[in-house]
Structure 1
Amino acid sequence: MDKRVMVFAPAPLLTVTIEQQADAVELHLHPGGQGVWQTRMITCLGVPVTLCVSLGGEVGDTLGRLLDEEDVTLRVVRRGASTGWYVHDRRDGSRAEIAEDPGAPMVRHDIDDLYTVTLTEGLRAPVSVLSGPASPDVVDPDIYRRLAADLSANGGIVVADLSGDYLRAVLDSGVAVLKVSHEELIDDGYADDDSVGTLLAAGRALQRKGATSVLISRAGEPALALLDDGPARLVHAPPLELADHHGAGDSMTAGVAAVLARGGDMEEAVRTGAAAGALNVTRHGLGTGRAEAVRELVDRVRIVPLDESEGHGAENDGAEGDDGDR
């Protein structure tokens, strides 16, 4: 196996964005969706990616041509139903949704073909990333369960960035790293609120259900890391001016996967993920950045052990004058 990452993105999106540049209005077409954004950051970090997708209809044809221009190995399964898309207006500096369509649900024949292609490529890669669709109606969660179980059973490292039924589907299937946001934990009923103690308890529950390590992103707050059976840790990303918070969590997942594919350990992976996520919020492009910038930020990430018995008060431990366990 070479040092590459397989990214499973069953339902990518064609993204159409309207922007204002001086006196001109510009229209931008790009490949999008969680798996595509993760792929973009992984390749920025110098790790090759095989991207497994399903495309259909006129939108799928356009998206396929755009994906061909990305620096990835692309494996496409054609399907009859159309691929999803969205149109956003960013002329005033914020994102305003004009229209969207997540795409039609995949039928069993499409899923079988995509499973076979994805399993093949996942067996060739040391690390596989399972990314979720934009809508829970597009892809049956069982394909995630099967992929996580089969890739893990054959020695692969599975990194899952999922929520809802997709998260539940992979929990007992051998997931090495589960990345989830605090909002998703609350929405899915694993946490009642966003306090540190409550989120840590939710993360530990997910570990007991089968995830080896759990990373919990918290928007602008430090992330929480539960690595194997070690102590909980607070991950302080470098402070940077926010341009667009979208995509930070996907970049974190990408950084983790890139390091693991190169044979790095989990602490290095978490540092790189935090650095990649921090860099992404300084840019308007999702999943974008430069490897040299991420490398400079990695050493500025602080990882601070948490006393889980302290719960709510633990977040401030080591926040002043302490470099943690760098």
Structure 2
Amino acid sequence: MRPSNKFSKTIAATAGLATTAGLAVAAVCATPASAGTQVTPAGDSVTGTLVGNLVVNVGSFQGTCTISSVSGKIPASPSNVSDGAITVPLGTPTVSNCSINAPLENLTVQVSGNWAITGQYGSPINGYLTIPQNGVYASISGLVSCTGNAAPAGAVTLPGIWTNGTDSVNNPSKVSVVNGTVPVAVSGGGLCPGNTGFASVSATYAVKDTTNPSAPVVIGPYDSTPTTTTTPPSCTTTTTAPPTTTTVPPTTTTAPTTTVVPPTTTTSSGGGTGSAGSLPFLGPLFGSLSGGSAPAAAGPMLTGSCTTSTTTVPTTTVPPTTTTIPTTIQTYPTMTRGSLS
């Protein structure tokens, strides 16, 4: 029994999709970026290994591949960060150990060209696998022989979801491609599919850092906003010293004051004018002149007396200057003028 034309189409599409799915691994390197995208560790080599099965569906037929891997390298700094998307170049993926659910048919997949992933950080983190034009060649052999090329009209991008892990050994990061659609061009005999078909691909790949296995491959945000450092204007501090109060000690000025008291004249009278009694010291003189003895003193001898007058000048004190004015009293003797009897 010869396989139907529909079956041939399924084989060709499956081959193309199988390879495409393998390349979807590259999407692992993609990084989403709202404000920006960053893939780390920068410059490290990575591999994507199929987890479970790669499943390709075309109509009612299904192709399954159990082995697939892809390798690449994270761009070195600063190329591992971007304001928008980041492209991670990949080598050529491999897809093998594929089968189809049609009896007596074999499926072979070959991959070629330079593959790449482009990603941007977001929620969820989205990675996009870019398959170059004619990047997958598939053939079926058995009762029917057909060939097919994936992405015959140009590069195709498959969407994927990225999940960051904690390390590259026990919990690596993963990328999942769900129902990625790839166009396929088929050629062959009359039982082969038509000129154009489509296939959907679903697969999950673990992405590991082979340079540093203890580190996970992480797609994270990158803040590309330039940092502006504002230098505050210099401040000048003016220190005002408290007012200084100078206390001048009081000055004592002593001004000598001389008070002149005019002389006081006291006149005393006694006997006759010019008499010897009033001037007893003249008696002997007259006695000697008259040849007789001097008469006895007619009366007491006048005694001169001195009167002392003291004048006190008040002192006025003007704060904070205290002036002490000493008073000097000059005393003149009192002259007593007598009369001769």
TM-score in same-fold range (> 0.5): no
TM score, norm. by length of structure 1: 0.24
Whose RCO is larger (CA < 8 A, sep 6+)? 2
Whose radius of gyration is greater, 1 or 2? 2
Q: Which has the higher helix share?
A: 1
TM score, norm. by length of structure 2: 0.24
